[in-house]
Amino acid sequence: IGTFIVWFNFGPTPALIFALVNAVAVLIIACPCALGLATPLSIMVGTGKGAQNGILIRSAEALETAHKLNTLVLDKTGTITKGQPSLTDVVPVDGNDADELLRLVASAERSSEHPLGQAIVRGAEDKGMKLTEPGEFESVTGKGIKVSVDGKKLLVGNRRLLDDADIKTVNLEKEAERLAVEGKTSMFIAIDGKPAGVVAVADTVKEDSAAAIATLRKLGIEVVMITGDNQHTAEAIAKQVGIERVLAEVLPQDKALEVKRLQGENKIAGMVGDGINDAPA
């Protein structure tokens, strides 16, 4: 109190500022425990405010060092886009029927919790299709699903899933590339070990994504998009929001490695995602 009074009455202008700064300095020197209490309290308030707005911060250290970031990695689905995909295309190959292909795939996806799978189910139901309960169901992380439907063995997922089963995907890749240019995500379908077609879904970009990314770039922060989607689809979405660097076809378990790789480029990188699979990164 004495320090405040002396500086307020006899100190230079602005007297109030100098009085407060010096009074706080004396308080910290005399009782440093006050600062020890204030720091974690401010972190707690910050994380609490974030949680109220749907933002979960991984650790106190991440919040403390956030002002040093020069690179921000954004997951695509649910962060840049709305995370509400809808069915857009069903492209059969080798004589398969489009409606039957959709019915089988939608039936297979009934046990899936993946947003893309749910979009296919909704699309089939909107067409009034009667879906059947799937039999054996296996989810392959980062690749797709293996399901038995009406006695048929279906593979529904990306190219890697079919490659693992030694199924040729040349015809499917041509269709997928065409759809990817339009910003659509394609899922490859195989039935009983043979390529059957491609089902595509599309997710729309959030209204404020482009503006938010532009603001980050003005602050000198490089924005990088990371996704498990194919390169063409990822680049189409990135172009819409003004992102130049894209990390595509990254498996969920490899996202943390990609962030570490960026840090190895002398970048101070942070990661923003919306799914449990983004948490390690």
Listed by start position, the domains of the chain span 1-31, 58-80+205-272, 85-204
Q: Which of 75, 203, 229, 278 is catalytic?
A: 75
58-80+205-272, CATH topology level = Rossmann fold (3.40.50)
Report in angstroms the alpha-carbon separations of 21 from 14, 27, 273. Answer: 11, 10, 40
Confidence at 41, pLDDT banded by 50, 70, 90: low
The pLDDT tens digits for 84-119 are 889 999 999 999 999 999 999 999 999 888 888 999
Of the candidate ranges 9-13, 46-50, 156-160, 266-270, the one whose mean pLDDT is the lowest: 46-50
- Name the burial class of residue 151, with classes exposed (0-12), middle (13-18) and buried (19+) by CB atoms within 10 angstroms of its CB: exposed
Helix (H) or strand (E) holding 107: helix 98-108
pTM of the model: 0.63
Q: Does domain 85-204 have CATH number 3.40.1110.10?
A: yes
List, for residues 119-157, the tens digit of each pLDDT value: 999 999 999 999 999 999 999 988 999 999 999 999 999
Q: What is the pLDDT of residue 18?
A: 87
Active site residue 274: no
